Amino acid sequence: MRPLILSLLLLFPVGPALAGQCASIVPSVCERPIDDAPARKILRVKPTVTPFIVGDRFPVETRSLLMDPARYDLAPSDGSWRYYAMAGVVYRVETASGLVLEVIRTRRTSHLR
């Protein structure tokens, strides 16, 4: 039995160099060295920035009018301004000039695109 163990140790040397790389004396356990371990993943969330702020010209020609403001707990339009939705944000836009009067961001409007 001793010659078999001795021959296995000579064929598959397990020394401090190998043990230091993977922190195990069993070579089959070592899939990769500790230095190659994957880094911890960090989730980075970009802050949301509205594309338009109060006073900007809103592109009413390319956006859809919000037809039922009461559905989203918004005040009804009086005709001088209208609501438009874009990227989860509702904009109250002046009808004549197309300028943004108010930026509305609520939970009820967050799904609008």
Which pLDDT tens digit goes with each residue over 60-73? 888 888 888 898 88
Give yes or no for a contact between 101 and 81, defined as CB atoms under 8 angstroms apart.
yes
pLDDT at 18: 45
- d(CA 62, CA 91) in angstroms, rounded, equals 14
What is this structure's pTM? 0.55
- d(CA 42, CA 83) in angstroms, rounded, equals 38
Does domain 49-113 match CATH 3.90.25.10? Answer: no
Tokens of 71: 């559905």
Tell me which H or E stretch contains 91.
strand 89-94
- Give the residue, 20 or 69, on which the prediction is more confident: 69
- Give the residue, 27 or 97, on which the prediction is more confident: 97
DSSP 27: G
pLDDT at 19: 45
Q: Among 94, 98, 90, which Cα is nearest to 60's?
A: 98
pLDDT at 25: 67
Confidence of residue 111 (pLDDT cuts 50, 70, 90): confident
Q: Among 77, 96, 45, 62, which Cα is nearest to 104's?
A: 77
Q: What is the mean pLDDT of the chain?
A: 76
Confidence of residue 57 (pLDDT cuts 50, 70, 90): very high
pLDDT at 86: 86
Q: Residue 6 corresponds to which amino acid?
A: L
Task: Determine the average pLDDT of the residues in 31-38.
Answer: 56
* Range list for CATH 3.10.450.160 in the chain: 49-113
Please tell me the number of Cα atoms within 13 Å of 20 on its side-chain side.
3
